[in-house]
Amino acid sequence: MRRTLHDWAPLAAWMLLIFAASSRPRVPFQQDVPDWISHPLVYLVLAVLAARAFTRGAPLERGVAAGVLAFCVAYGVSDEWHQSFVRGRHADPWDVVKDGIGALGGLAVYQGWSRRSPAREARPS
């Protein structure tokens, strides 16, 4: 159980943070950081955390990487849909594209990190 929490809690916390930020009409740093930077960075982190959770710290396999990318893009779509109900916010399909680009970057970061780390065997929780 502890291992499962270790793997999944950071991802869940990051997703809650994204949801909370999307629930506000204005995000504090929104005016200082352009959209084309903030979206990819946020989803880069999401992809790293998702890859870490899905693989339990092991290197990515192609199928798992595709699943993580689909997961991140689906979360981006749901986030844009959620924003469409928040006063002062709107859904923008280009934001999902930026999210996907960030997720691809996150997969590359995770892959580079996981190949340098000692291989970890997936242990049952």
Flag whether the pTM goes above 0.85: yes
The 10s digit of each residue's pLDDT in 36-56 is 999 999 999 999 999 999 999
Q: 122 pLDDT exceeds 60?
A: no
Nearest to residue 75, comparing CAs of 8, 2, 1, 11? 11
What pLDDT was estimated at residue 106?
98
Structure-block tokens of residue 111: 């892959």
Buried b (16+ CB within 10 A) or exposed e, 57-82: bbbbeeebbeebbebbbebbbebbee
What pLDDT was estimated at residue 5?
87
Q: 23 pLDDT exceeds 70?
A: yes
- Distance (Å, whole) CA 62 – CA 115: 14
The 10s digit of each residue's pLDDT in 48-107 is 999 999 999 899 999 999 999 999 999 999 999 999 999 988 899 999 999 999 999 999
